[in-house]
Amino acid sequence: MDQINSYLETHKERFIDELIQLLKIPSISADSAYKKDVILTAEEVKKHLENAGCDVVEICETDGYPIIYGEKIINNDLPTVLVYGHYDVQPPDPIDLWTSPPFEPVIKATKTHPEGAIFARGACDDKGQMYMHVKALEFMTNTDNLPCNVKFMIEGEEEVGSVNLATFVKNNQEKLKNDVILISDTGMIAKDVPSITTGLRGLSYVEVEVTGPNRDLHSGLYGGAVANPINILAKMIASLHDENNHITIPGFYDAVEDLSNEERAEMAKAPFNLDNYKDALDIKDVHGEKGYSTNERNSIRPTLDVNGIWGGYTGEGAKTVIASKAYAKISMRLVPHQKWENITQLFKTHFENIAPASVTVKVKPHHGGEGYVTPIDNIGYLAASQAYETTFGKKPIPQRSGGSIPIVALFERELKSKTILMGFGLDSDAIHSPNEHFGVWNYLKGIETIPYFYKNFTKLFQEEHK
Amino acid sequence: MDQINSYLETHKERFIDELIQLLKIPSISADSAYKKDVILTAEEVKKHLENAGCDVVEICETDGYPIIYGEKIINNDLPTVLVYGHYDVQPPDPIDLWTSPPFEPVIKATKTHPEGAIFARGACDDKGQMYMHVKALEFMTNTDNLPCNVKFMIEGEEEVGSVNLATFVKNNQEKLKNDVILISDTGMIAKDVPSITTGLRGLSYVEVEVTGPNRDLHSGLYGGAVANPINILAKMIASLHDENNHITIPGFYDAVEDLSNEERAEMAKAPFNLDNYKDALDIKDVHGEKGYSTNERNSIRPTLDVNGIWGGYTGEGAKTVIASKAYAKISMRLVPHQKWENITQLFKTHFENIAPASVTVKVKPHHGGEGYVTPIDNIGYLAASQAYETTFGKKPIPQRSGGSIPIVALFERELKSKTILMGFGLDSDAIHSPNEHFGVWNYLKGIETIPYFYKNFTKLFQEEHK
B294 CB within 8 Å of a chain A CB: yes
Is the pLDDT confidence value at A2 over 80? no
Interface of A with B in 63-122 (CB under 8 A): 90-91, 93-94, 97
Mean pLDDT of B159-170: 93
* CA of A355 vs chain B CAs: smallest distance (Å): 12
Pairs across A and B, CB distance < 8 A: 373
* CA of B3 vs chain A CAs: smallest distance (Å): 36
Query: What pLDDT does B220 receive?
Result: 83
Instruction: State which H helix or E strand residue A81 sits in.
Output: strand A80-86
Query: What pLDDT does A403 receive?
Result: 81
Mean pLDDT of B445-459: 98
Answer whether A235's CB lies under 8 Å from B287's CB.
no
Mean pLDDT of B146-173: 95
Residue in B closest to A313 by C-alpha: B308
Give me the count of residues in chain B.
466
- Closest Cβ opposite residue B221 in set A358, A402, A434: A402
Q: Which residues of A touch B367 (CB under 8 A)?
A: 318
Give me the count of residues in chain A.
466
The answer, yes or no, to whether the previous bond of A114 is cis (omega within 30 of 0) is no
Cα–chain center distance at A194 = 18
* CA of A197 vs chain B CAs: smallest distance (Å): 12
B162 CB within 8 Å of a chain A CB: no
**Could you give the CA distance from residue A123 to residue A102 in angstroms, rounded to a whole number?**
10
Q: Do B215 and A434 touch (CB under 8 A)?
A: yes
A337 CB within 8 Å of a chain B CB: no
Choose the mutation target among A99, A242, A298, A426 for the interface with B, i.e. most B CBs under 10 Å: A298
Query: What pLDDT does A5 receive?
Result: 95
Query: What pLDDT does B4 receive?
Result: 96
Is the pLDDT confidence value at A3 over 70? yes
Interface of B with A in 11-40 (CB under 8 A): 29-32
A279 CB within 8 Å of a chain B CB: no
Q: Phi then psi for B185, rounded to 5 degrees? A: -145, 25
Answer whether B92's CB lies under 8 Å from B103's CB.
yes
A340 CB within 8 Å of a chain B CB: no
Answer whether B289's CB lies under 8 Å from B297's CB.
yes
Q: Do A305 and B223 touch (CB under 8 A)?
A: yes
Instruction: State which H helix or E strand residue A233 sits in.
Output: helix A229-238
DSSP A89-156: B----SGGG-SS-TTS-EEE--SS-TT-EEESTTTTTTHHHHHHHHHHHHHHHHTT---SEEEEEEES
pLDDT grade for A405, boundaries at 50, 70 and 90: confident
Answer whether B224's CB lies under 8 Å from A301's CB.
yes
Residue in A closest to B403 by C-alpha: A220
Query: What pLDDT does B1 receive?
Result: 65
Is the pLDDT confidence value at A1 over 70? no
Answer whether B180's CB lies under 8 Å from B457's CB.
yes
A301 CB within 8 Å of a chain B CB: yes
Q: What percent of chain B has pLDDT over 90?
A: 82
CATH 3.30.70.360 domain span(s) along chain A: 204-256+302-367
Burial state string for A253-280 with b = 16 or more CB within 10 A and e = fewer than 16: eeeeeebeeeeeeebeeeeeeeeebbee
Burial classification of residue A144, based on how many CB atoms lie within 10 Å of its CB (0-12 exposed, 13-18 middle, 19 or more buried): exposed
**Could you give the CA distance from residue B401 to residue A152 in angstroms, rounded to a whole number?**
69
Q: Do A218 and B298 touch (CB under 8 A)?
A: no
CA nearest B205: which of A222, A220, A229? Answer: A220
pLDDT tens digits, residue range B218-260? 888 899 999 999 999 999 999 999 999 999 999 999 999 888 8
A283 CB within 8 Å of a chain B CB: yes
Through-space distance between the first and last CA atoms of chain B, rounded to whole angstroms: 24
Strand partners, A204: A332, A368
pLDDT tens digits, residue range A214-249? 999 988 889 999 999 999 999 999 999 999 999 999
- What does the mean pLDDT of chain B come to? 94
Q: Which residues of A touch B316 (CB under 8 A)?
A: 30-32
Through-space distance between the first and last CA atoms of chain A, rounded to whole angstroms: 24
Burial classification of residue A68, based on how many CB atoms lie within 10 Å of its CB (0-12 exposed, 13-18 middle, 19 or more buried): buried
| Amino acid occupying residue A282 | D
Q: Do B313 and A281 touch (CB under 8 A)?
A: no
| Amino acid occupying residue A358 | S
Is the pLDDT confidence value at B441 over 90? yes
A310 CB within 8 Å of a chain B CB: yes
pLDDT grade for B325, boundaries at 50, 70 and 90: very high
* CA of B413 vs chain A CAs: smallest distance (Å): 23
CA nearest B154: which of B178, B184, B111? Answer: B184
B41 CB within 8 Å of a chain A CB: no
Q: Which residues contact B436 (CB under 8 A, 6 or more apart)?
A: B102, B119, B120, B121, B122, B123, B124, B125, B429, B430
A241 CB within 8 Å of a chain B CB: yes
Q: Do A319 and B212 touch (CB under 8 A)?
A: no
- Closest Cβ opposite residue B434 in set A216, A326, A433: A216
Query: What pLDDT does B454 receive?
Result: 98
Q: Do B307 and A319 touch (CB under 8 A)?
A: yes
Q: Do A32 and B316 touch (CB under 8 A)?
A: yes
* CA of A142 vs chain B CAs: smallest distance (Å): 37
Q: At what angle do helices A440-464 and A379-392 cross, to 10 degrees?
A: 140
Q: What percent of chain A has pLDDT over 90?
A: 82
Beta pairing class for B149-155 and B372-373: unpaired
- Closest Cβ opposite residue A231 in set B217, B237, B320: B237
Is the pLDDT confidence value at B143 over 80? yes
Residue in B closest to A301 by C-alpha: B224
Q: Model pTM greater than 0.90?
A: no
Torsion of CA B331, B332, B335, B340, to 10 degrees: -80
**Could you give the CA distance from residue B171 to residue B77 in angstroms, rounded to a whole number?**
24
pLDDT tens digits, residue range B342-385? 999 999 999 999 999 999 999 999 888 888 888 888 999 999 99
B456 CB within 8 Å of a chain A CB: no
pLDDT grade for A132, boundaries at 50, 70 and 90: very high
Q: Does 3.40.50.1820 match the CATH number of domain A204-256+302-367? A: no
Query: What pLDDT does B258 receive?
Result: 84
Q: At what angle do helices A3-23 and A440-464 cross, to 10 degrees?
A: 120
Interface of B with A in 353-382 (CB under 8 A): 356-360, 366-367
Strand partners, B195: B397
Q: Do B231 and A237 touch (CB under 8 A)?
A: yes
- Closest Cβ opposite residue A319 in set B90, B303, B311: B90
Is the pLDDT confidence value at A406 over 80? no
B189 CB within 8 Å of a chain A CB: no
Tell me, what's the ipTM? 0.75
- Closest Cβ opposite residue B214 in set A212, A282, A303: A282
- Closest Cβ opposite residue A311 in set B216, B308, B315: B308
pLDDT tens digits, residue range A362-399? 999 988 888 888 888 899 999 999 999 999 999 998 88
Q: Which residues of A touch B372 (CB under 8 A)?
A: none
Q: Do A283 and B214 touch (CB under 8 A)?
A: yes
User: Which residue did the predictor score with more confidence, A65 or A299?
Assistant: A65
**Could you give the CA distance from residue B355 to residue B377 in angstroms, rounded to a whole number?**
48
Q: Does 3.40.50.720 match the CATH number of domain B4-200+371-464? A: no
**Could you give the CA distance from residue B404 to residue B401 in angstroms, rounded to a whole number?**
8
Q: Do B217 and A432 touch (CB under 8 A)?
A: yes
DSSP A69: E
- Closest Cβ opposite residue B224 in set A228, A239, A297: A297
Q: Do B356 and A320 touch (CB under 8 A)?
A: no
